Amino acid sequence: MTTQRRNFLRLFGASGLATSMASWSLPTLAASDVATTLAKSSGRRVVVVGGGFGGTIAAKFIRMQDPGIEVVLIEPNRQFVASPMSNLYLGGLLPDLSTLTMGYDQLLAQHDIKMVYDSVTAIDPQKKTVTVSTDTIDYDRLILSPGIDFRTEEIQGYDRQTTPEQMPHAWKTGAQTQLLRQQLVDMPDGGTVVLTVPAAPFRCHAAPYERASMIAMYLQQHKPKSKIVLLDANPDILVHAELFKKGWKKHYDGIIDYRSAQKLIAVDAGKRSVALQSGKEIRGDVVNLIPPQRAGQIAVAAGLVGRDKSWCPVNELTFESTLKKNIHVIGDACSAGAMPKSGFSANGQAKICAHNIVALMNDKEPSEISGIDTAFSYVSAKEAASVVSVFATKDSKIIQVPNSGGVSPDWSETEAAYASSWFKNILTEMSS
């Protein structure tokens, strides 16, 4: 293990969240049990779809605020692998994804949440039911936090099955992230990594630039003749551009070749090349292609996305869809005014949504929101920076409070300590 990785793990406290979180055991419902146990609801029930940053917190806070409401959480995976810090794994600072992984047992036991490990394939807003593989489950109110899907149809030559195997996106953490890491390790010294950034909005605007930093750090240490070409569809770096430029000059001068306003229009996965709107074609030895994004597929299938065909418009007080009654959408999938698409925002939206659903189900007025988002990015093994934003509701819209928040003055070890501590806290809150 390198000294850098050892130091990082000490700072990060990599004691194995996954291990401690997996120590509880509670019987959960297989899809085949659903017909007998969940087909008919008695009393009031909220169904939550998606056990990620938004869904876990919404399920927990409804139970905490009104134990008289039954909560059913539906998620296909028995473990959730978080995306924050996954760039550090790509840079070689984490040996595997275990510190990003959590189970659900403790959350379910502690808050008496019913779990169905399955995917929702359809929603009937009239009958107020969701369909899983073997049955339908009814709800009084439904919360969707399904995360993102990709608008790959906008990229000529992109095959949804095969292209990600050759040009991984690694934008949903797990096997894709491991594949990208392996491709970086296997790349000969002197190779070129191409990283493409889609036009905003997409999941976590800071993350592509943090990823470029982490990959550059890895190349500098292990493949010093290599470089990374960062093709950004946006006019400039989306988050604290000056800090990133300063950090790259200091740490990775000559390694990161940043090119703005480079929209990707086609791929040839076999040749590992990407074609740009400008007419240029660029080949990489490793291509990390992050496609443009939209709300998770179930939200699209249920007719919850708006005129942009990408994101779900919601009442910005209750997160109830403006298109379908009794269905609330939180997290990356929704358009939440000024709030960015981040795990921190999904966490805050889940709490506000839960609070206001409990109010509505108890014939009370919903409350206005007040929330924050802090986006941390690492530039090196030891240094990070952050952007803090404060949000409030004004005229039924979520706005960024003027003259609040701000960007940290520089990259620092203190911000890196805050970042790792934020991550441990949020994962603990989601899993217990």
Ligand X SMILES: Cc1cc2nc3c(=O)[nH]c(=O)nc-3n(C[C@H](O)[C@H](O)[C@H](O)COP(=O)(O)OP(=O)(O)OC[C@H]3O[C@@H](n4cnc5c(N)ncnc54)[C@H](O)[C@@H]3O)c2cc1C
Query: Which residues bind to ligand X, rule: CB under 6 A?
Result: 49-55, 74-77, 80, 83-84, 86-87, 119-120, 145-147, 171, 203-204, 207, 296, 298, 331-333, 341-344, 346, 375-376
Residue spans of beta strands (DSSP E) within 113-272: 114-116, 122-124, 129-131, 136-138, 141-144, 148-150, 192-197, 227-232, 256-259, 264-268
What's the min distance (Å) between Cβ of 290 and ligand X? Answer: 8
Exposure of 410 by Cβ count < 10 A (0-12 exposed, 13-18 middle, 19+ buried)? Answer: exposed
What's the min distance (Å) between Cβ of 5 and ligand X? Answer: 19
> Is the CB of 176 or the CB of 273 nearer to ligand X?
176
> Is the CB of 89 or the CB of 248 nearer to ligand X?
89
Which helix (H) or strand (E) segment holds residue 211: the answer is helix 207-222
Distance between CA 56 and CA 432 in Å, rounded? 9
> Is the CB of 124 or the CB of 281 nearer to ligand X?
124
What's the min distance (Å) between Cβ of 75 and ligand X? Answer: 5
Using alpha carbons, select from 57, 84, 247 the residue that is nearest to residue 171.
84
> Is the CB of 120 or the CB of 228 nearer to ligand X?
120
> Is the CB of 78 or the CB of 271 nearer to ligand X?
78
Nearest-CB residue to ligand X?
A: 52
What's the min distance (Å) between Cβ of 312 and ligand X? Answer: 11
What's the min distance (Å) between Cβ of 345 and ligand X? Answer: 7
CB 192 within 8 A of CB 283: yes
The number of residues in the chain equals 432
Distance between CA 305 and CA 298 in Å, rounded? 10
What's the min distance (Å) between Cβ of 77 and ligand X? Answer: 5
CB 237 within 8 A of CB 244: yes
> Is the CB of 86 or the CB of 188 nearer to ligand X?
86
What's the min distance (Å) between Cβ of 297 and ligand X? Answer: 7
- The amino acid sitting at 288 is N
CB atoms within 10 A of CB 320: 23
Distance between CA 167 and CA 273 in Å, rounded? 9
CB 331 within 8 A of CB 54: yes
Q: Which two tokens stand for residue 211?
A: 């990823």
> Is the CB of 84 or the CB of 366 nearer to ligand X?
84
> Is the CB of 275 or the CB of 407 nearer to ligand X?
407
- The amino acid sitting at 392 is A
Q: Which two tokens stand for residue 147?
A: 């995360």
What's the min distance (Å) between Cβ of 185 and ligand X? Answer: 18
